[in-house]
Amino acid sequence: MIGESGPIDLPRTSDSGVPLERAIRGRRSVRGFSSEPISLDQLSLILWSAQGITGPERGLRAVPSAGATFPLELFIVVKRGGVEGLKEGVYRYISDKHALEPLLEDDVSPALAQAALGQGFVERAPVNVIIAAEHGRTARVYGQRGVRYVHMEAGHAGQNIALEAEALGLGTVMVGAFEDMLVKKVVGMPAELEPLYIIPLGQPRS
């Protein structure tokens, strides 16, 4: 299994072949997930769409960021058997390397669902992407107004994930109802970060 130790290189991203307009039309909130895993290629594209590097010469990313301050961090909770060839656990996405940093080895999906006020589909989803932010990275440049810019950026990233999921035939839903401190505890999030979204991902249940 991948993920024994050290950073895990993700597959290079490719084109889903689905027109943007079709993905926009088809996007719906999905709360019913099958037990079928997603592929590492699918996870790679999802993470790239949210925070992947698209301008290597300047380190620019897939979503707009006020002043290129890049306040967002992605944490990935993988259920046991949730991603083909990847161990269950908690990972952090490393944008500049397009890689995963393993943080925890346990399946914390049940605990994450409890932190999300008992929403069962969070536990049933093969993968949950948590978008977190260090507001200070942007606020140091823009003051209190920077907090608004961070939340706008999180929305950009969330929409990219939703559209990429649709293009890949996956289902997803945006979750904002959760206990912040519990989410941080479940995934081992550093104190300076605040969770903004939980985004379950998986094959839609037929």
Q: What is residue 143's predicted lDDT score, i.e. its pLDDT? A: 97
Q: Helices in 27-177 by DSSP H: which ranges? A: 40-51, 109-115, 120-124, 135-142, 145-167
145-196 tens-digit pLDDT: 999 999 999 999 999 999 999 999 999 999 999 999 999 999 999 999 999 9
Contacts of 64 (CB under 8 A, 6+ apart): 153, 156
* Mean pLDDT confidence for 37-57: 95
Q: How large is the average pLDDT for residues 43-50?
A: 97
Q: Would you state the structure tokens that stand for residue 105, as one six-digit string? A: 């080895």
What DSSP letter does each residue of 66-96 carry, written as one string?
GGG---EEEEEEE-TTSBTTB-SEEEEEEGG
Measured distance between the N- and C-terminal CA atoms of the chain, rounded to whole angstroms: 29
Question: What gap in Å lies between CA 44 and CA 159, rounded to an integer?
Answer: 16
Mean pLDDT computed over 59-83:
96
pLDDT at 3: 44
Full-model pTM: 0.95
The whole-number pLDDT of residue 55 equals 87
Counts for the chain of helices (H) and strands (E), in that order: 7, 9
Question: For 84-125, what is each residue's pLDDT tens digit?
Answer: 999 999 999 999 999 999 999 999 999 999 999 999 999 999
Under DSSP, the state recorded for 144 is T
Rounded CA gap, 94 and 165, in Å?
A: 20
Instruction: Give the DSSP H or E segment for 104.
Output: strand 99-104
Position with higher pLDDT, 12 vs 195: 195
What are the tokens at 160?
Answer: 């990219």
Mean pLDDT of 132-138: 98
